[in-house]
Structure 1
Amino acid sequence: MDQLGRDGAALAANLRTLCEQHGSVAAVCRKINVNRQQFNKYLSGAHVPSPANLRIIANYFGLSVPMLFADPEEFRTLVEGNFFHAMATARQLPEFSRFVSDMIVENNADHNDIVGVYDRYQFSSIYKGFVLRSAFCIYRNREFLQHYYVERFPSFDDPKKTEYVFKYYGFCFPVADRLFTADFEGIQSNEMTFGVYAQVKRNAKRFMFGISSGIAATVFRQPYSTKVALHYRGPGLLRRAHLKELTVMDRNDPSIPREALQYLGDGSDMIQMS
């Protein structure tokens, strides 16, 4: 299959996923004012929409045009995680508009050097003394850089089973060679976290080192601040292969990059409020 065919197949799969989340195909066609017969050709992969229709479709679903052509497996992970809906809702809030106005200065840089998938390492606030490996992804959506990351914690009684899963999603703001992040947790919906990171390149390995702070709305999850190391894995969105690697590890685990361990130290400087 040539590139055009692959693009058409990816678009078709992603449009089917979006239509599943937005009711019937007929309803979507009415909303975007696109002929149902023509739209069916998009869904089958027989045709790729014109640039004008691509913009109409992308705008309706609140996405950028390139996101419509993302790998279907990665795309479904985002949709099923409800990340797109949450971000669209946040963008409509007047409080967010004011926040963005205060944070963003005119900036035409594409920041392609930071977009992609990362392994995220920090000392766990649940498993004391152990390192948490989560999956972190930065992607572009229209004028915004957005991110999401997923944490999985194994059961104390049966490490092969997952006890807790947390999913965070939010926005990234590159400012003065630093990356600022603001996000919220989407499963329990009771925590906001903030981070600031600096990019470091060593021996062809790409890292960002920084600090993350979290504030929960309940007494069951205490506020914290800790060092975080981000290790770049590659372009694209999170895939199931990335999610399978999420766990809590002993700090001597050889799969943890040496650079990440050197930055994290022994975890003694993690701050938790009791």
Structure 2
Amino acid sequence: MDHLGRDAAALAANLRTLCERHGSVAAVCRKINVNRQQFNKYLSGAHIPSPANLRIIANYFGLSIPILFTNPDEFRALVDGNFFHAMATVRQLPEFSRFVSNMIVENNDAHDDIVGVYDRYQFSSIYKGFVLRSAFCIYRNKEFLQHYYVERFPSYDDPRKTEYVFKYYGFCFPVADRLFTADFEGIQSNELTFGVYAQVKRNSKKFMFGISSGIAATVFRQPYSTKVALHYRGPGLLRREHLKDLTVMDRNDPSIPREALQYLGDGSDMIQMS
């Protein structure tokens, strides 16, 4: 299959994924004012939309055009639980624009060096004394940097099974050599978290160290604040290979980078309501 064919196939698969999450194809066609017969050709991979229609489709789903052509497996990991309409609405709010201006955010190509996939380490607020490894991804969506990350918690009774999964989606704001993040949990939709990170430039390995705070509308997950270490894995979006090692570990687990563990310490400085 040639390059155009691969692009058409990826776009078709991703459009089908989006339509599944937005009710029906007919409803999407009505919203974007694109002929159903023509849209079916996009869904089958027979045609790629014109540049004008690509912009309409991307704007409707709150995505950039390049993301629409992402590998379908990576795309599903990105969209599963993500509220693109909410994100797009936030970006368009005058209040958000003023907030961005006041923060003096410089979201331009100079910050693309932080885009990519990271292993995220912190002491767990659920499994006390254990280190949580999650998968964190920063990506560019139009003029903004956004991020999402996935947490998996094993069962107390059978560690081979996953008991809980949490997925967070939000915005990144690079300001004065710091990265500020704000996100919400997309599965149970009851938690907000905020973070601030700094790159460790003295290390040849790519780390960002910082602090994350979260509050949920449930007694089970109490408000907390804790240190977080981000370890760069590579470019792109989250893939299956990034998700297979997500778990909670003993702090002496050899797979935890030494630099991350040194920064995290023993977890005794986590702030959490009792």
TM-score, with structure 2 as normaliser = 0.90
Q: Given the superposition, is the C-alpha separation of residues 8 and 77 from structure 1 closer, same or farther in structure 2, using an over 3 Å criterion?
A: same
Name the CA distance, whole Å, in 1 between partners of 2:272 and 2:212.
12
> 1:81/1:187 Cα in 2 relative to 1: closer, same or farther (>3 Å)?
closer
Distance 1:185 1:93, change over 3 A: farther
Identity across the alignment (%): 91
Aligned mates of 1:180, 1:86 — CA distance in 2: 20
Unpaired segments ≥5 residues, structure 1: none
Deviations 1:149-195 (A, max 9, x none): 11111111211122222222111100011100011223333322111
Distance 1:273 1:56 in 2: 46
Counterparts of 2:194 and 2:29 in 1: how far apart (Å)? 39
Deviates more, 1:135-144 or 1:34-43: 34-43
SS in 2 for 1:86: helix
Kindly provide the CA deviation profile for residues 89-108 of structure 1, in whole angstroms up to 9, marking residues without a partner as x.
54466765554453344653
The 3-state SS of whatever aligns with 1:39 is helix
Return closer, same or farther for 1:157/1:64 CA change in 2, 3 Å cut-off: same
Structure 1 distance, partners of 2:156, 2:86, is 31
Aligned to 1:166: 166
Q: 1:37 to 1:110 in 2, by over 3 A?
A: farther
- C-alpha contact 1:78 1:84 (8 A) present in aligned 2: no
3-state SS of 1:213 partner: strand
Structure 2 counterpart of 1:39? 39
What is the aligned length? 274
Question: In the alignment, which residue of structure 1 is the partner of 2:128?
Answer: 128
Deviation at 1:36, TM superposition (A): 3.1
Q: What SS is found at the alignment partner of 1:259? A: helix
Conservation of the 8 A alpha-carbon contact between 1:104 and 1:173: no
Whole-angstrom CA distance in 2 between matches of 1:103 and 1:97: 10
SS at match of 1:202: coil
Q: How big is the shift at 1:77? A: 2.2
Give per-residue Cα distances to partners, 1:105-153, cap 9 Å, x unaligned. Answer: 4653452111111110011122222110011111122222111111111
CA distance 1:134–1:66, change in 2 (3 Å): same
Deviates more, 1:201-210 or 1:239-248: 201-210
Aligned to 1:231: 231
Aligned 8 A contact 2:82 2:169 in 1:
no
Q: Shift of residue 222 of structure 1?
A: 2.3
Relative to 1, partners in 2 of residues 1:30 and 1:163: Cα closer, same or farther, differing over 3 Å?
Answer: closer
CA contact (8 A) 2:115 2:140 kept: yes
More displaced 10-residue stretch of structure 1: 22-31 or 112-121? 22-31
Q: Which runs of 5+ in 2 are unaligned?
A: none
Quick check: 2:210–2:228 contact (8 Å CA) kept in 1? yes
Distance 2:245 2:191 in 1: 24
* CA–CA distance in structure 1, aligned partners of residues 31 and 147 of structure 2: 28
The alignment partner of 1:10 has SS state of: helix
Q: Which sits farther off after the overlay, 102-111 or 248-257?
A: 102-111
Note the alpha carbon deviations across 1:193-239, whole angstroms, 9 max, x for none: 11111112466421111111122334432222111110111222222
Separation in 1 of the partners of 2:58 and 2:125? 39
The 2-side partners of 1:85 and 1:35 are apart by 22
Q: CA deviation at 1:11?
A: 0.7
Q: 1:161 to 1:20 in 2, by over 3 A?
A: same
User: Structure 1 pair 49/189, CA: closer, same or farther in 2 (3 Å)?
Assistant: closer
